[in-house]
Amino acid sequence: MAMAVANNKTHCFTCNKEKITYPCRGCSKEFCLIHLTEHQQMLNEELNHIINDYDQFKQRINEKKKNPQSLQNLSLIKEINQWETNSIEIIQKKAQNCRETIITSSEIFINEIEKKFDDLSEQIKQIHKENEFNEINLNYLKNQLIEITEELNNSSNISIQQNSQSFINEISIISSKRSKFNKWKQNAITVAGGNGQGQDLNQLKISVGIFIDKNKNIFIADCDNHRIIEWKHNAKKGQIIAGGNGNGNRMDQLNHPQDVIVDQQNHSIIITDSLNRRVIRWMNQNQQTLIDNIDCWGLAMDKHGFIYVLDWKTNEVKRWKMGECNNEGIVVAGANGKGNQLNQLNSPSFIFVDEDQSVYVSDEYNNRVMKWKKGAKEGIVVAGGNGEGENLNQLFKPQGVIVDDLGQIYVADCVNDRVMRWCEGKEEGEIVVGGNGEGNRSNQLNGPRGLSFDDEENLYVADSGNDRIQKFEIISE
């Protein structure tokens, strides 16, 4: 609440007397000094009430945490138990009916065989009694015995058939917080490049990492043009915001930049200047080396201001606090040599860091995506890991990786020219865009690399082989 002395006397809202008054910014009313104090006290009491309400709500949360088996949950669990009991009864009844059918059928079958045998025995007795028989009669009797012996050995002509359609009522849990699986239009819009390979401002040359800011401006690591180019929302061409002065190691030059992120708080961009083996920051045309002597590739920043850099040569990801990048950094993934064990990586490419500071790594030559939880000594496979290939449980040289708010993992499956979505713990993923063969049509990709979402969850893909950035619009429900 801000106060300012009024120049002229006005009426106090409480006592309605003409006095020197003070405005309350919250309610826009004027109070004399005495009643302003009263008004503040009332506000304090109201704040105390609110604090008390919050404390009571916190107590309710604690009670629910201590006792997750609330009355509602117990009622639902009781319903599940009843379903289980009913289903077991149905299964047991069905099984008993099948057992009885088998026993009855077996008895009928044996009786039929016995009747055939008795008929043949009677014929033998008759022949023996009349003493009139020849080779034809004997062969007939032999063959008949062989037939009923085979019939008996085959046991019966009944078997079990299992129907895939359930005869038990299906049960599932329905929650209002249901996960949503977004879908995107399969024909993309080209939002940057797409004018052939080149170095003009409307062209790209092997685009790798991309970053979309809150205004839908696209920042592109235009690798073979040795520059970072910003493509304003709906612009026909981009503008160079870093590099673009030829291939070199001067501070105003880049050498095959691979990834770029925008620190929107500081209005600066951070770049992995790959072949110069340095991570640099450009801010207002001023350049600063943050980290050097690093074979850098993928780059990420978390909400706490830590930056994460992937070193493809040492097969590790390290973390630095912004402003403290002159030290060695902390290893958060890999650093156990090149390999395919759970604590190893093999020429990784891109990284993503989630809200919990878990690090997702596109482990390119192992054809998998690994997740390293904060402080973990080894990762878990969350996508691929079944050799290179195009099956739904495989990846082929994965590149860009991003994770949505539901923890679903999206990966640029580079050689398969598609973007896949994987849910952690699932055996296979699904194709969300691309997968229609290598090509430059609007529903095709050619060696996709960087991935990004904008704030509306439209999906952007650095379609590297086609030197363009594709925007796949989300389909609204």
Query: What does the pLDDT look like over 248-261, one tens digit per residue?
Result: 999 899 999 999 99
Question: Which is higher by pLDDT, 306 or 476?
Answer: 306
Q: What percent of the chain has pLDDT over 70?
A: 94
pLDDT for position 46: 87
pLDDT tens-digit map of 37-50 = 888 898 888 888 88
Backbone dihedral region of 250: left (phi > 0), alpha (psi from -120 to 50 degrees) or beta? beta
Please state which of the ranges 66-75, 265-274, 425-434 shows the lowest mean pLDDT.
66-75
- Residue 373, classified by CB atoms within 10 Å of its CB into exposed (0-12), middle (13-18) or buried (19+), is middle
Cα separation, 354 vs 457, in Å, equals: 16
312: helix, strand or coil: coil
- pLDDT band of residue 4 (cuts 50, 70, 90) is very low
Quote the mean pLDDT of the chain: 87
Domain ranges of the chain: 9-65, 97-178, 187-475
Q: Which residues contact 436 (CB under 8 A, 6 or more apart)?
A: 417, 443, 444
Q: How much is the pLDDT for 178?
A: 45
pLDDT for residue 408 is more than 90: yes
Mean pLDDT of 328-341: 93
User: Which range, of 101-105, 160-164, 204-208, averages the lowest pLDDT?
Assistant: 160-164
pLDDT of amino acid 6: 42
Mean pLDDT of 104-118: 79
What is 153-185 written as a DSSP string?
HT--S------SS-SS-------TT------B-
* Of residues 395, 397, 400, the one with CA closest to residue 452: 400
Better-predicted residue by pLDDT, 174 or 310 = 310
pLDDT digits (tens, 9 = 90+) for 72-93: 677 888 888 898 898 898 889 8
pLDDT (0 to 100) of residue 333: 96
- Evaluate whether 241 touches 260 at the Cβ level (below 8 Å): no
Question: For 62-77, what is the mean pLDDT?
Answer: 72
Of residues 318 and 123, the one with the higher pLDDT is: 318
Provide Rg for the chain, Cα atoms: 37
Report the share of the chain in percent with pLDDT over 90.
53
Q: What is the mean pLDDT of residues 455-468?
A: 95
> Is the pLDDT assigned to residue 8 strictly greater than 70?
no
Instruction: Quote the CA–CA distance of 217 and 352 in Å, as a whole number.
Output: 20
pLDDT reading at 12 higher than 70: yes
The angle formed by the CA atoms of residues 68, 72 and 74, to the nearest 5 degrees, is 65
Higher pLDDT, 126 or 189: 189
Q: What is the pLDDT of residues 263-307, one digit of tens each?
A: 877 789 999 999 999 999 988 778 899 999 999 999 999 988 899
| Strand locations in 20-129 (E) | 22-23, 30-31
Lowest-pLDDT choice from 122-126, 156-160, 176-180: 176-180
Residue 392, pLDDT > 50, answer yes
Contacts 24+ apart (CB under 8 A), 327-334: 329/291, 332/308, 332/359, 332/372, 332/374, 333/359, 333/361, 333/370, 333/372, 333/379, 334/361
What pLDDT, on a 0 to 100 scale, did the predictor assign at position 177?
A: 46
Buried b (16+ CB within 10 A) or exposed e, 98-125: eeeeeeeeeeebeeeeeebeeebeeeee
CB 451 within 8 A of CB 419: yes
Thinking of the domain 187-475, which architecture would CATH place it in?
6 Propeller (2.120)
pLDDT at 357: 93
For residue 376, count CB atoms less than 10 angstroms from its CB and return exposed for 0-12, middle for 13-18, buried for 19 or more.
Answer: middle
- Residue 195: band (very low, low, confident or very high) from pLDDT cuts 50, 70, 90: very high
**How much is the pTM?**
0.65
pLDDT at 363 over 70: yes
**Is the model's pLDDT at 433 over the cut of 90?**
yes
Q: Give the confidence band of 351 by pLDDT, cuts at 50, 70, 90.
A: very high
Distance from the first to the final alpha carbon of the chain: 44
| pLDDT tier, 71 (very low <50, low <70, confident <90, very high otherwise) | low
CB-CB neighbours of 469 under 10 Å:
27
pLDDT band at 3 (very low <50, low <70, confident <90, very high): very low
